[in-house]
Chains A and B, each alone.
Chain A
Amino acid sequence: MSSILEISNLSLSFGGVKALQGVSFRVPENTVTTVIGPNGAGKTSLFNCISGFYKPQQGTISYQGKALTGVKPPVRASMGLARTFQNIALFRGMTVLDNIKLGAHVHMKSGLLGSLAYFGAARREEMAVREEVERHIIDFLEIDHIRRQPVANLSYGLQKRVELARALAMRPKVLLLDEPVAGMNREEKEDMARFILDIREEWGVTVLMVEHDMGMVMDISDHIAVLNFGQVIAEGLPADVQNNQQVIEAYLGTSDMDSLRKKLNPEREVA
């Protein structure tokens, strides 16, 4: 399987705080790849490097074989990198429908004058986007009953789903999901897991996610990378990772605190 995203030797620090140290792993195409690790392991920093908010001091991220160094966030979006955020980042003043349509922004062309007149090409484009959003996204994610509601009125689980819808409207090749089921109840989690699997299978999108819910991670992931204190400590199939002694100690805990302390550099602090 070829990799769509390859992260090699990535290092990022904020002053003395080393968030990522020589992180390398690959995301095979058309898989659900999950990054796990304890709080503060650098997972969200890694996502921010991939989407272009943080500039790593070292290392490269290559996407479809091309290095992303120096590429600005909006351009990365148009190349097919979409993401959702850990703390929902929807536009609270807008309706669900408008939020989702915003995802299609980069694929639209109409300019200021077309918008002012709402005529000809600009109008046709709006209609085409509406239809696409309705047919493929709203229907798929089962959010048709809330499409006219302002996002601020929705429950947490629905907001997460709308954020996923917005990311899908970007027609992504790689979808970065930052804790897609955090704070959800069991039923909502199951729905979300089903959507993620469908997105991979039916849309052919590669999913890279960060998640803490081990049950879900082990169930739906094809590939897992484990991050601890800014370093990759294991990578592989769910079953391999589950049985890796280092992972069990570092992530799930160990009774032998001394051996754990020895492994960790006491100076290190992580954002």
Chain B
Amino acid sequence: MRIGDAKQSYEADESIWKSSTQKVWFAVLLLVLAVFPFMADAYLLYLGCMVGIAVISTTGLNILTGFTGLISLGQAGFMGVGGYTVAWLSANSALPFPVTLLLAGLLAAAVGILVGLPSLRVKGLYLAIATLAASVFLHFIFAEWESVTGGMGGLSLEPAHLFGLSFQSDFEMYFIIVPLAVLMVFGATNIFRTRTGRAFIAIRDRDISAEILGINLLRYKLMSFALSSFYAGVAGGLFAYFYRVVTPESFPLSMSIFYLAAVIVGGMGNLLGGILGAAFMTLIPEALKLLTAALTPFYPNAPIFMSPMLEIIFGVLIVGFLIFEPHGLAEIWHRIRRFFSLWPFKN
């Protein structure tokens, strides 16, 4: 148990790790993530990859919506831009995956800046509608620009490759997706230790006094859009490599809502919340499916009964979170930590 955290330097006080215990736990987490694919079966591996992609995209949306206070329903569209960029590059070039993913992120960021332009004038629900329009527009481009996107049939991809290595199976993709997710969450953590992140939060909390402090609102709002879309673009690119096919229906509007729900359920403006929310939103429908399978031996009608119920249970869970835990899953985690911080010397 830790009984104090006296710091000797500002450097130490500003560090991500508040104590060596935290470092140890983080190392344990990394180890678990590294060992996981060797232990897990195909299904768990698939889920691990899905959660990894969702974490990247949710973290991106959290930067924009949770930290900068700009609601966006365009996340699926930006992911689509990333996915199609990777698919097109895979068909028309021999670039290795780090380059294609970077280009996917950059193109998505450019589109994000365009979509973010109205954000200086419109806020809240109006901005949500503006981004929704952008999302519909992007979907239209994916479906109709056949020479580039392959129309409704979509594009299929070669496996991701680097230095002659090819990443085909879920097992191999895991080693691209998860390290990238860790790296990008780290990047986001750094953002909020510095000037840029503080400016984002200032805009969310009180944009007028942000301006008084010399924060250029348009510049930082667009920067937030660009960063958020960059994350979405990379996530979309990984999504494309993972399924090895992209169609307009790979990135439906409901996906944008999925990520928005993940941010809200996890905890707006909390990076850990985004991660937990992404995991929750990805895993709960699967858990409900497992529950159905477990019930089938006892109630042979369970699949018929449960399949329409799944959506309802899922919805009720989300509503329940909003009512009972408005600060999201992250708050539950903080409570657990507070409990154990003095355990067992506290009753």
**What is A's interface to B at a CB cutoff of 8 Å?**
51, 53, 73-75, 77-78, 83, 85, 89-94, 98, 101-103, 105-106, 108, 110-112, 114-118, 122, 125-127, 130-131, 134, 166, 170
Of the residues A91, A94, A115, A166, contact of B191 by C-beta under 8 Å:
A115
A49 to chain B, nearest CB (A): 13
Contact B205 A94 (CB under 8 A): yes
Residue of B nearest to A91 (CB): B205
Q: Check if B198 sits within 8 Å of A166, measured CB to CB.
A: no
Question: Which residues from 2 to 49 on chain B have a C-beta closer than 8 Å to any C-beta of chain A?
Answer: 10-11, 13-14
A residues within 8 A CB of B11? 127
Contact A78 B212, beta carbon cutoff 8 Å: no
Residues of B within 8 A of A (CB): 10-11, 13-14, 187, 190-191, 193-199, 201-202, 204-206, 208-216, 223, 226-227, 269
Q: Within the assembled complex, what's the spacing in Å between the Cα atoms of A85 and B213?
A: 12
A99 to chain B, nearest CB (A): 9
Q: Do B10 and A116 touch (CB < 8 A)?
A: no
Min C-beta distance of B183 to chain A, whole Å? 10
Whether A74 pairs with B198 at a CB distance below 8 angstroms is: no
Cβ–Cβ contact A74 & B269, under 8 A: no
Contact A126 B14 (CB under 8 A): yes
Contact of A91 among B194, B206, B214, B226 (CB under 8 A): B206
A77 touches B190 (CB 8 A): no
The interface residues of chain B lying within 8 Å CB-to-CB of A130 are 10, 13-14
Q: Is the CB of B201 within 8 A of A115?
A: no
Say what secondary structure dominates the interface of chain B.
helix
Interface contact A73-B212, CB-CB below 8 Å: yes
Interfacial chain B residues near A118, Cβ < 8 Å: 190, 193-194
Residues of A contacting B208 with CB < 8 Å? Answer: 53, 89
CB of A116 within 8 A of CB of B205, answer: no
Contact (Cβ within 8 A) A170 B214: yes
Taking a contact as CB atoms under 8 Å apart, the answer to whether A126 and B205 are in contact is no
Chain B residues contacting A131 (CB-CB under 8 Å) are 10
A74-B216, A116-B187, A131-B10 known; A85-B209 Cβ under 8 A: yes
Shortest CB–CB separation between residue A200 and chain B, in angstroms? Answer: 21
Q: Are A134 and B10 in touch, CB under 8 angstroms? A: yes
Residues in B whose Cβ lies below 8 Å from that of A83 = 212
In the complex, A126 Cα to B198 Cα: how many Å?
12
- Shortest A70–chain B CB gap in Å is 16
| Minimum Cβ distance to chain A for residue B47 (Å) | 28
Residue of A110, A115, A117 contacting most chain B CB atoms (<10 Å): A115
Known pairs A85-B209, A105-B199, A114-B194 / 19 extra A-B pairs, C-beta < 8 Å: A74-B214, A74-B216, A77-B214, A89-B206, A91-B206, A92-B206, A94-B198, A101-B198, A102-B210, A102-B213, A105-B214, A105-B215, A106-B213, A116-B190, A118-B193, A122-B195, A126-B14, A126-B194, A166-B213
Min Cβ gap B226→A in Å is 8
User: Please, which residue of chain B has its CB at the minimum distance from the CB of A170?
Assistant: B213
Chain B residues contacting A92 (CB-CB under 8 Å) are 205-206
CA distance A77 to B212 in the complex (A): 6
- The CA-CA distance from A83 to B205 in the complex, in Å, is 18
Q: A91 — which chain B residues lie within 8 A by C-beta?
A: 201-202, 205-206, 209-210
Closest to A104 in B: B195
Cβ–Cβ contact B216 & A93, under 8 A: no
The answer to whether A73 touches B211, judged by C-beta atoms less than 8 angstroms apart, is yes
Enumerate chain A residues within 8 angstroms of B191, measured Cβ to Cβ: 112, 115-116
Please tell me which one of the listed residues A51, A93, A115 contacts residue B204 in the complex, with CB atoms under 8 A apart.
Answer: A93
A-chain residues with CB within 8 Å of residue B206 when the two chains form the complex: 89-92
- Distance of A117 Cα from B187 Cα, bound (Å): 6
Distance between A139 CB and nearest chain B CB, rounded to angstroms? 13
**A102 in contact with B198 (CB, 8 Å):** yes
Distance in angstroms between the alpha carbons of A125 and B195 in the assembled complex: 9
Within the complex, what minimum Cβ distance (angstroms) separates B210 from chain A?
Answer: 8
| A115–B195 CB distance below 8 A | yes
Partner of B214, one of A85, A94, A106: A106
Can you give 19 A-B contacts (C-beta < 8 A)? A78-B214, A89-B208, A90-B206, A90-B209, A93-B205, A93-B269, A102-B210, A102-B213, A103-B213, A105-B195, A105-B198, A105-B214, A108-B195, A110-B196, A115-B196, A116-B190, A118-B190, A122-B195, A131-B10
Asked if B10 and A127 make an inter-chain contact with CB atoms under 8 angstroms apart, the answer reads yes
